[in-house]
């Protein structure tokens, strides 16, 4: 079929298998161009099919020749209906990994469930014995709790009061004022249940119970802080409460794994265009200004650049450079004083009329479509493609 982008609001309903494959190949080529990383050799990535998790899997495999197991939750294609991008990404990743002689197996199911943890435990026992790195990169709006069966929803809301600020519709470039109502009822607790640290710890407990973590193993989960302008809706909002919980969980895990000298870290990453961040009001305007400023300064990074730097300079580079709260910071360039000062100034000035000048609206939009395999250089979008791609390790 010939596949075109079909968007509804901030989601894209279609994705392009060849474009996704090209994205994966480009990320692999980037990692290879940066040289070998003396890193972990057996790696479990939870949330491995898109964004930072995919970049982590690629960096482990093609930077350190690691065997990888990836867990994610994606939709396969059906006749005439493309798969979700993570499905195509993983199909492409496995194809490349296997061609390079690397072990790569994938599980496409709900990582929050006990069943999937058991499946992964069995797979590690059978194939790898132990793992030495676990990347936790889930981003989900919902979680069914494995013990109660109750389904929780996370929300993106400020806490305490209404938050009003500017935002942009990145499809039209329209800058407008938006107000977001504060959390109510169980919003905060529910968001913490979905995006906090409980599931990360459950994973580590399940692995440790079966002695599947090697001596001195590392686990890393990803977090975000961001600037003053997004604070009420992000870091001081419901999702920020979940990130506080995630960050606190790192210390609990490290404490619990003391006997094997394993360590849990949170890495604070840079703001990037993802499906989730496109749906948070205010953030797309911030990101379009951020991209403009960082590109001008020659310090722009995408997921793969972020994770390659995380691995080569922090995790396996001999200096974690932890902040005062014990976190790894690869948002260091985003948070630089000169970068933030320029964004603050541009923020005041931004209007519908000038945003395409002072912000990188086009870059934002291109990145959004790239998430789904569209607008990728070198791909012929007029060509008939097979949407029914399979992930080799999943039968
Ligand atoms: P993403 O949406 O690109 O990736 C999420 C992954 O989780 C996908 O592989 C998806 O399949 C998987 N997933 C979702 N629900 C699942 C489930 N129930 N079972 C199994 N797999 C499931 O997200 P991302 O932007 O890469 O975010 C990953 C982490 O990085 C999050 O913790 C996020 O908060 C953090 N982070 C994001 C940004 C940003 O700007 N996007 C910045 C800093 C940190
Ligand atoms: Na991810």
Question: Ligand 1, atom 28: nearest CA belongs to which residue?
Answer: 137
Query: 15-66 pLDDT, tens per residue?
Result: 999 999 999 999 999 999 999 999 999 999 999 999 999 999 999 999 999 9
Query: Minimum-distance ligand to the CA of 152?
Result: 1
- 169-204 pLDDT, tens digit each: 988 999 999 999 999 999 999 999 999 999 999 999
Domains, in order of start, for the chain: 7-158+189-280+299-331 (3.40.50.720)
Q: 234 catalytic, yes or no?
A: yes
Nearest residue (CA) to ligand 1, atom 17: 110
DSSP 258: G
Is 224 annotated to bind a ligand? Reply is: yes
Task: Name the active-site residue from 30, 234, 265, 311.
Answer: 234
Pairing of strands 7-8, 328-329: unpaired
CA distances from 124 to 73, 104, 117, 213, 335 (A): 19, 12, 11, 10, 38
Please give the pLDDT value at position 274.
86
Cα–Cα dist 72/262, whole Å? 24
The CA–CA distances, whole Å, from 237 to 15, 71, 155, 157, 160 equal 31, 28, 9, 6, 9
**Ligand 1 site, CB within 6 A:** 47-53, 71-74, 86, 110-112, 137-140, 222-224, 269, 271-272, 274-277
Site to probe by mutation for ligand 1, drawn from 139, 141, 234, 272 as the one with most ligand atoms within 8 Å of Cβ, is 139
The verdict on whether residue 52 carries a ligand-binding annotation is yes
Which ligand does the CA of 90 lie closest to?
1
Q: Tell me which residue has tokens 């870059």.
A: 363
Residues of the chain with pLDDT under 70: none
Mutate-to-test residue for ligand 1 from 24, 47, 71, highest number of ligand atoms within 8 A of CB: 47
pLDDT at 275: 80
Containing 104, the helix (H) or strand (E) segment is: strand 104-108
Distance 108 CA to ligand 2 centre (A): 14
Task: Report in angstroms the alpha-carbon separations of 27 from 55, 174, 319.
Answer: 7, 32, 24
Centre a 10 Å sphere on the Cβ of residue 365 and count the other Cβ atoms it contains. 17
For residue 278, the model assigns a pLDDT of 84
């Amino acid at each position: 079929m010939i596949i075109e982008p079909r968007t509804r609001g901030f989601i894209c309903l279609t994705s392009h298998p060849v474009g996704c494959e090209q994205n994966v190949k480009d990320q692999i080529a980037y990692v290879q161009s940066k040289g070998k990383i003396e890193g972990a050799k057996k790696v479990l990535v939870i949330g491995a099919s898109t964004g930072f998790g995919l970049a982590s899997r690629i960096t482990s495999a093609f930077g350190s020749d690691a065997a990888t197991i990836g867990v994610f939750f994606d939709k396969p294609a059906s006749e005439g209906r493309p798969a979700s991008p993570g499905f195509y990404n993983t199909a492409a990743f496995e194809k490349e990994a296997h061609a390079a002689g690397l072990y790569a197996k994938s599980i496409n199911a709900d990582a929050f469930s006990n069943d999937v943890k058991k499946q992964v435990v069995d797979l590690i026992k059978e194939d790898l014995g132990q793992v030495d790195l676990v990347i936790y990169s889930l981003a989900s709006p919902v979680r069914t709790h494995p013990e109660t069966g109750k389904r929780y929803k996370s929300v993106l809301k400020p806490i305490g009061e209404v938050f009003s600020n500017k935002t942009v519709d990145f499809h039209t470039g329209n800058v407008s004022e938006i107000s977001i109502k504060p959390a109510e009822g169980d919003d905060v607790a529910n968001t913490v249940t979905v995006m906090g640290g409980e599931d990360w710890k459950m994973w580590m407990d399940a692995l440790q119970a079966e002695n599947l973590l090697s001596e001195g193993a590392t686990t890393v989960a990803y977090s975000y802080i961001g600037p003053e302008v997004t604070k009420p809706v992000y870091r001081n909002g419901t999702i920020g409460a979940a990130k506080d919980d995630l960050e606190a969980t790192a210390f609990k895990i490290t404490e619990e794994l003391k006997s094997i000298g394993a360590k849990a870290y949170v890495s604070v990453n840079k703001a990037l265009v993802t499906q989730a961040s496109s749906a948070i009001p205010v953030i797309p305007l911030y990101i379009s200004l951020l991209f403009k400023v960082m590109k001008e300064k020659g310090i722009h990074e995408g997921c793969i650049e972020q994770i390659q730097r995380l691995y080569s300079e922090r995790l396996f580079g001999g200096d974690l450079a932890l902040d005062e709260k014990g976190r790894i910071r690869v948002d260091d360039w985003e948070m630089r004083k000169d970068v933030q000062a320029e964004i603050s100034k541009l923020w005041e000035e931004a209007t519908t009329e000038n945003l395409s000048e002072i912000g990188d609206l086009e870059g934002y939009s291109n990145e959004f479509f790239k998430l789904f395999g569209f607008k990728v250089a070198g791909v012929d979008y007029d060509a008939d493609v097979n949407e029914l791609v399979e992930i080799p390790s999943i039968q």
